[in-house]
Structure 1
């Protein structure tokens, strides 16, 4: 009988996990981004029906992240206490309910409440998924897996933009609902359905997975393990992660990166509309271009970063490229729409390729509950940028009547964060900040 080598066991285990876990997590993250970003395409309809100003729209977009910020760490504690199977189901069902309720709002206050509650319900999802990857995948595979996962951010916009544009371009009401209401309802229902199924689709640990054999389970428990010592996760470990100062430093850097991601995502349709002067469907098709290009480049960039182990350099360089793209878009905004759109494509590529190498740095600090807590801190504080950026851009738009100051603000956040990553994080092994 042929002896099975450790490398064969490793290769087989990773292949099976990648095929079974990653596509499902990608689908869940796709739905999350679809529900949090579809409001960007309904901006004109919300302005007409609810009387929103640019500042009010930015506030409504950003208040999602206040709820997310307040409940992210408690939600991640829920992942540890109840396990991913149960907690993912809770997150999906509750966020789907409030995403659907957005289709029934009648006043700005109701819109603010639903967006806030959407953030509360979705809180903890992203770092919980990253933690879930640390449970199943050894460190050397995480940047690649995160790269596959992060593709969803631009991909959800690339796919979601024409879908949203098509729904919003419907010329008549369906079942008494206006197109903008249908947008929220139709895109809010799938998470509820999948949330009901998720306890039957995932397991909490490699040892519980039926498609792995005994050797593969043993190898994963030794190499991916729930903690470096192989001991059971406790809330005490979780609290240690919260107190780790390294995570706080990454959280502050994440703030700058998130400002770029959500400021860009919230206002891109409006900016393209101002450049092209087209209707919502044409705008949604044009928005597909920058997001589609970004989606194509995220994974190869992640692979390159993973092979060189220069995560800080790759993350920082991407952010600097994004800043250049935003500044270029501002420069050519009034003079050449095609060139301005080209620079927006560069900005999108830079913004989204920065995410996998950046998030791999804090993910490599520790494992188990400490990793879950630390990643929650990074995501929690970073996501304040998701409130600050859309609201700040909206206020600047109202004050100046132009998108240029807002784009310069986003570019400044990305440039500062990128340079810090290049000149500080890049000096450390795998970008992990020393104590």
Structure 2
């Protein structure tokens, strides 16, 4: 931000969007805390637990692209508002399931409802934050994953301690219904509609965004949406995110179980310990996003965190139960490092594609890539159940992170750097 430009959008748009998607992350991931009770009551093991976790992402596949496409042409604010209500209902209904089939159905429907939210917010941010600020803006927003995990860990631990896994879904599933009201009051689709915005800030945003769109369109024909998704850069980003999601969810969904295996704590203790890696993730996301905006470099900032995180994951499992304190410390560093790519990578599509194609393209990339969220927990669950140890699951996660970190490197020659603002950073 410039020293003389007001920054009200940073304190209005980002916190509301952050807490909205924090709730989404809680409702998506809290099943990992419910596994022990659900496995006993509904009768399934670790491999099926991975399926329960991952089937949600098949729901994403059907609505991410459609949600992003509509957000680019309609109102991101309205789309997210209605989806908040729908996913809240499905999240609460999960607490009523009586068998595995009903559980899988509820998780799939939750994925359908949540799927359109992510690309809609990316479109919303593209209307509020110029490219030279976008890694920071997206990075602050994507802190929702870490904050969601930090909140979810002790909250879910206490709910399970006081009640049971069904109340976990009832209580946490009610949160989006409440937040839908906040979202409707505080969010505006773009600077032109925001009555709370100063003319100076409005003029700055619209001028910068107009320059960006002209630069993207300069010297090229108007690209249709079908042609945009055939762009090789789309498939590089898709491959990068697919393998990253396998590694990420393979770690995050099993993190409470992994921590419990070498800490020997109860549900409350595991909840608090599991929050520590996500605090590290928040620090990593902020530092990496700020440095990316400061230097204007995107690709290395998206690649190196995954490569380093993969090495740390292997070290953590090698230390294992024989060195529980050091294993926890390295796990914290691994999760903190591997998550710091977030924010940076989602600043890339808006620098490549026009506003008309951005939402649908992001939805296409993220919808398919999120299938990694199915394969990761499922394969790791299978490896854990087959071997009786976390070693093979962790090696698999680390390998996927390495592939992800390497596959994005060719984009370094085809993604132009944003002009770095010679002003005070937000």
Same fold by TM-score greater than 0.5:
yes
Residues 135-214 of structure 1 aligned to structure 2 (within 5 Å): 135-170=127-162, 178-214=163-199
**Residue 18 of structure 1: which of 4, 7, 10 is its match?**
10
Report the Cα distance in structure 1 between the residues aligned to 2:142 and 2:258, rounded to whole angstroms: 24
2:13–2:186 contact (8 Å) kept in structure 1: no
Counterpart residue number, 1:228: 213
Unaligned runs of 5+ in 1: 1-5, 171-177, 231-235
Per-residue deviation, 1:291 = 1.1
Q: Which residue of 1 aligns with 2:272?
A: 285
Kept in 2: contact 1:311–1:430 (CA 8 A): no
Q: What is the aligned partner in structure 2 of residue 3 from structure 1?
A: none
* Superposition RMSD in Å: 2.3
Structure with bigger RCO (C-alpha 8 Å, 6+ apart) = 2
C-alpha separation between the residues in 2 aligned to 1:249 and 1:237?
19
Q: C-alpha distance in 2, partners of 1:290/1:142?
A: 25
CA pair 216-282 structure 1, distance change in 2 beyond 3 A: closer
SS of aligned partner of 2:174: helix
| Partner of residue 220, structure 2 | none
Show the counterpart of 1:303: 290
Which aligned pairs between 1:253-332 and structure 2 lie closer than 5 A?
253-332=240-319
Which residue does the alignment assign to 1:412? Answer: 399
1:426 aligns with 2:415: no
1:364 aligns with 2:354: no
Could you tell me which runs of 5 or more consecutive residues in structure 2 were left unpaired when the two chains were aligned. 216-222, 419-426
Q: For residue 252 of structure 1, what is the aligned residue in structure 2?
A: 239
Query: Which residue does 1:104 correspond to in 2?
Result: 96
Choose which of 64, 74, 77 in structure 2 pairs with 1:82. Answer: 74
Q: How far is the alpha carbon of 1:225 from its aligned partner?
A: 4.8
Shift of 1:224: 2.2
Provide the secondary structure at the position in 1 that maps to 2:187.
coil
TM-score, normalisation: structure 1: 0.89
Distance (whole Å) between structure 2 residues aligned to residue 8 and residue 293 of structure 1: 30
Q: Deviations over 1:351-402 (max 9, x none)?
A: 2101222222223212312111221122112101000100000111121111
| 1:53-98 CA distance string (max 9 Å, x none) | 1011100000000110122111222323431121011111111111
* Contact 2:73-2:356 within 8 A present in 1 as well: no
8 Å CA contact 1:361–1:431 kept in 2: the answer is: no
Whether the 8 Å CA contact 1:320–1:350 is kept in 2: the answer is: no
- What secondary structure is seen at the aligned counterpart in 2 of 1:212? coil
Report the TM-score when normalising by structure 2.
0.91
**How far does residue 8 in structure 1 lie from its aligned partner after superposition?**
6.2
Map of 2:123 onto structure 1: 131
Deviations 1:181-209 (A, max 9, x none): 11111111121122245333322221111
Larger mean CA deviation between 340-349 and 387-396 belongs to 340-349
* C-alpha contact (below 8 Å) 1:64/1:115 kept by paired residues: yes
Structure 2 residue 36 is the aligned partner of structure 1 residue 44: yes
Q: Distance in 2 between matches of 1:427 and 1:8?
A: 32
Inter-CA distance 429–362: structure 2 relative to 1 (3 Å threshold): same
1:94 counterpart (45, 62, 86)? 86
SS in 1 for 2:213: coil
Q: What is the aligned counterpart of 2:25 among 19, 24, 33?
A: 33
CA separation of 1:251 and 1:226: change in aligned 2, threshold 3 A: farther
Distance 1:241 1:368 in 2: 12
Question: CA 1:424–1:191 in structure 2 vs 1: closer, same or farther (change >3 Å)?
Answer: same
- Determine helix, strand or coil for the equivalent of 1:21: helix
- Structure-2 change in CA distance of 1:263 and 1:424 (3 Å): same
Distance 1:294 1:78 in 2: 32
- Write the distance in 1 (CA, Å) between the matches of 2:225 and 2:187: 22
Deviations 1:315-361 (A, max 9, x none): 21100111012111221124211222122112201221012222222
Deviation at 1:237, TM superposition (A): 5.3
Distance in 2 of aligned mates of 1:356 and 1:7: 21
Residue in 2 that maps onto 1:116: 108
Residues 415 and 125 of structure 1, relative CA distance in 2, 3 Å threshold: same
Q: Which residue of 1 aligns with 2:421?
A: none
Q: Secondary structure at the match of 2:265?
A: coil
Q: SS of 2:342's equivalent?
A: helix
